[in-house]
Amino acid sequence: MTVVSDIAVAPRDQLNHARALHWVLAVALGLACLVNLQVGATDVTLSSVLAKLAQGETLSQIERVVLFDIRLPRLAMGILVGAALAVSGAAMQGLFRNPLADPGIVGVGAGAGLGAILAIVLGALLPVWMIDRAGNHLVPFAAFLGGWGSTILLYRVSTRHGRTSVATMLLAGIALGALAGALSGILVYIADDRQLRDLTFWGLGSLAGASWAKVLSAAPLILLSLGTAMMLGRGLNGLALGEATAAHIGINVQRMKSVAILAVAGATGAAVAVSGGIGFIGIVVPHLLRLASGPDHRTLLLNSALLGATLLILADVIARVVIAPAELPIGIVTAVLGAPVFLWILLKRRGLVEL
């Protein structure tokens, strides 16, 4: 990696630039939140509801349900999931020193997918009392267990004598992904048509199923994981110099690796569990920010959280208004909008992508 010198002596003005970006992105996120609450399939708007509240009028039931039971939990989930995916992507790219790394690299995606498919296809075989208890939470719960479980397995496979080999983890992740894919294939084969439809939609991701219960079940884990990830900035910068050098400049490399992997598994596992497979945020957001303000992880991680949340909730606005009253899966929107923009930036800045 040729970026080593850049990071070791990060230009002061670039760092200041990146810090200023915190504020810009925070404002952008705030604006995106307002747009998100203002626009939807119904003609309920944030402004009209606020005006009513200011005049002490009571809200109609539809206004209350749309704003407080549909849009707000959806917004909260969008922020959490967008931030989780983007920060996980940034951390993984730093840890693996590989620009293609995304949260899926630690096996979360494949494992969560397998868990979700298991729950969708075989959930009906569970004893009735278990289905009653689990209800709507069965698929998210299985997805989380699958994602988390596969990460732990990968971590165990690639750790010897207290040292985790990132390369082994990468390879084992590919093998594990293939295995999970094959098992999913078997389940797809025995699934009936409705289950297949559910699987397809799950794989495209959506925030449409957002509810306060889901937000509350995912929030603690995502916030804890994100908070932990924010403290990895200095360590990831050091790691960009290579593991040996990082150790020499006083970074506990092994501890950092395990913390990063667990944080990513937690954040992504919870995000994927509540929203399905939303692609592209984890790859695009960190790279956009590296192009904009350099590869310093001390600022990159927080900026990723802000930009990831902003982009996802804006994508959600598009997903729900473009074919209203029906709704597009959000994974389609992030890919359709994200991919061309990303390609355009790559073309414009050919040869400048560095970690």
Partner 1 sequence: MRHWPSKIAFRTGLCAALCSTFLAMAVSAEQSADTPQAQADVLSIGGSVTEIIAALGQEHRLKARDTTSSYPPSVADLPDVGYMRALSPEGVLSVGPSLILTEEGAGPPEALDVIRAANVALVEVPDALSVAGILRKIEIVGETLGVPEHAAGLMAEVEADLVAALADAERPEDDKKRVLFVLSTQGGKINASGTGTAADALIRMAGGVNAVSDYEGYKQITDEAVGLAAPDVILMMDRGGDHGLADDELFAMPAVQLTPAAQTRSIVRMDGLLMLGFGPRTAQAVQMLNDALYAKGT
Binding site residues, partner 1, CB under 8 A = 40-43, 61-62, 65-66, 69-71, 135-136, 188-189, 192-194, 196-201, 203, 206, 208-211, 214, 320, 323-327, 329
Instruction: Quote the least distance from Cβ 259 to partner 1, whole Å.
Output: 33
Instruction: Quote the least distance from Cβ 174 to partner 1, whole Å.
Output: 21
**Exposed/middle/buried for residue 129 (C-beta within 10 Å: 0-12, 13-18, 19+):** exposed
Amino acid identity, position 272? V
Pick 41 or 170: Cβ nearer partner 1 = 41
Instruction: Quote the least distance from Cβ 318 to partner 1, whole Å.
Output: 13
Contacts of 97 (CB under 8 A, 6+ apart): 1, 166, 239, 240, 355
Instruction: Quote the least distance from Cβ 188 to partner 1, whole Å.
Output: 7
Instruction: Quote the least distance from Cβ 347 to partner 1, whole Å.
Output: 31
Q: 3-class SS at 236? A: helix
Q: 3-class SS at 159? A: strand
Cα 110 to Cα 277: distance, rounded to the nearest angstrom: 10
Within 13 Å and on the Cβ side, how many CA atoms surround 245?
10
Pick 6 or 327: Cβ nearer partner 1 = 327
- From 231, 222, 268, 221, select the one nearest 252 (Cα to Cα): 231
Instruction: Quote the least distance from Cβ 228 to partner 1, whole Å.
Output: 29
Residue with tokens 């559910």: 198
Question: Which stretch of DSSP H or E encloses residue 134?
Answer: helix 128-134
DSSP output for 162-176: TEE-HHHHHHHHHHH
Contacts of 56 (CB under 8 A, 6+ apart): none
